[in-house]
Chains A and B, each alone.
Chain A
Amino acid sequence: MDPSQLLKGVLDLAVLAVLRDADGYGYDVLRRLRAAGLEDVADASVYGTLRRLFAGGALTSYVQPSEEGPHRKYYGLNQTGLDLLAESTKTWNHFSDTMSGLLRKEAA
């Protein structure tokens, strides 16, 4: 099974999750996803996801000057984002449990 196909459905959740602890700019979010083990995530899709979550009102955005060069646009969760994260987490856990149970039954 192609992990990148699976990733498409849960990228929103993954992005919300890495922004829960600290705000981040695009490349930073990308790095955190990779560090968490999602190595197949495509660069452009992360940026697209950030834009969509921002347009949907789940994220705030602000610009901060960077010491190394150009300014960086940071994204962070607002209340809508936190709610969305909680709800999506519930959905994911339910789905994951269901799938795991199904697979266990099949294996048994």
Chain B
Amino acid sequence: MNSTVTGAVATYLAQIRAELNDLPPGELEDVLDDVSGHLTEVAAEFDGEPTAAALQERLGTPREYADELRSAAGYPPRTHSMDHASAQASAGQALRWGVIAGTVGPFFLVVGIFSWSRDASAFFGLIGLAVLFGAAYLGVRALRGNDPRTVLDTPRGVAAANSIRELIQQLPPHLRQELVAIGQPVWWVARGVVGGGGFFALFGAGAVTVVGALAGAAVSIWIGRRTQQDRRWLWYLVPLNVVAAVAVPAGLAASFILGSNGPFLFSNGDDSRGRSSGYNYQNGLTLDGEQITNIYPFDEQGRQVKVLLYTQSGAALRLDLQDCATLYPGTESHSGVSNFFPLPEVQHDPNGTTDAENCKDSTKAPFTPRLAPTTTPTPTPSTPSPKPSSGVTLTVSPTR
């Protein structure tokens, strides 16, 4: 009920809450439930949302309202005891830890998610998780069993709550309600799917990712409902939401750009684990951005030769075949890739009538190399080798 009041009404309600915050938490919530209903009805008497001044005109100041309520209800007079002061102090502490959990933790986690290597991902991810849960735990402990809303009674809490309220007031009222009614469940599912799915996508298999995404959505909904009942969960949930607020759009954008490669940031092949550079990621061999489809080795005398190519780690440097056997798959088994260069390529019939019967392969280079003058390259130690700024980049998917 409290969540539905907005604007000046919400501020008025918060001020009454602050006036009554010495009441036992259960009674406080019950009476504020009534008051919030009252304020809603009173607000409905106005055309549009009432201003703070109009509310005071109608109901008196929040303090007068609270005092009248207090005396009619027979509550004890307001106590500004040490208890209250220490409650304020602990609320301030809880707020501080909450801010740390909500900013520093997510910062490291996001750095981890978008890190350049797996090691860096793990390192920053662990730091982020440790800060997030550590600070959140300390925040909840700082509450010392007090109602989490006491945080809103501290000067900083009031300022923060007011600025957030003003932000929310910028939205048109019907959009506000729809955001809560429709946006909230959609958000719960989205953050669960991306969180759970993204986590399991780190370990490869697509089926696990789907199960992880479904489980993540279920857990996320459960946590969402749980938090509505016990607001102390906010200390954990708000920081995680910050992480999800960054990861969800990034995950959706990545899956949109990668298209059929998979719905998640990290699921487009083993080599891309823990990397965010999935946007311009391509399988195969490229030279200065151009896809290499074949390699024609020549010896020093300019004669074409046939070679088997391997990488520095001994892995066969295979490229996709574009030969007749690939084009017209017959009975013979065919892997579709080879490291025996030059690769045979379909020789296109000038009439354009190539089919399975008359298809011919060729390994002849479609050019003659301009051989450099036969100076034997004697490497001089003093001159630096050519800058490796441009060169071959290789990304091979070994499963293909």
Whether chain B is bound by chain A comes out as yes
Chain A residues near B30: list those with CB within 8 A.
51
Within A49-95, the residues touching B (CB, 8 Å) are 49-52, 55, 69-73
Interface size of A by CB at 8 A reads 22
Chain A residues near B42: list those with CB within 8 A.
27, 43
Which of B37, B59, B60, B71 meets A72, CB within 8 Å? B37
A41 to chain B, nearest CB (A): 10
B77 to chain A, nearest CB (A): 14
In angstroms, Cα B177 to Cα A70, docked, is 12
In angstroms, Cα B62 to Cα A43, docked, is 12
In angstroms, Cα B27 to Cα A52, docked, is 11
Q: B306 within 8 Å of A by Cβ?
A: no
Q: B40 within 8 Å of A by Cβ?
A: yes
Contact A69 B33, CB 8 Å, known A11-B72, A42-B68: no
Does the CB pair B34–A73 fall under 8 Å?
Answer: yes
Does the CB pair A44–B65 fall under 8 Å?
Answer: yes
**Contact indicator per residue, chain B 87-106, by CB within 8 Å of chain A (1) or not (0):** 00000000000000000000
B180 to chain A, nearest CB (A): 12
Does the CB pair A70–B73 fall under 8 Å?
Answer: no
Q: Which residue of A lies closest to B66 (CB)?
A: A44
Within B50-74, the residues touching A (CB, 8 Å) are 59-60, 64-66, 68-74
Q: B38 within 8 Å of A by Cβ?
A: yes
**Contact indicator per residue, chain A 21-62, by CB within 8 Å of chain B (1) or not (0):** 000011100100000000000111111111110010000000
Chain A residues near B41: list those with CB within 8 A.
27
Q: Which residue of A lies closest to B30 (CB)?
A: A51
Q: Which residues of B contact A (CB under 8 A)?
A: 1, 4, 27, 30-31, 33-38, 40-42, 59-60, 64-66, 68-75
* Selected A-B contacts with CB under 8 Å, 18 pairs: A27-B38, A42-B68, A43-B59, A44-B60, A44-B64, A44-B68, A47-B38, A48-B69, A48-B70, A49-B72, A51-B27, A51-B31, A52-B72, A55-B73, A69-B4, A69-B40, A70-B4, A73-B34
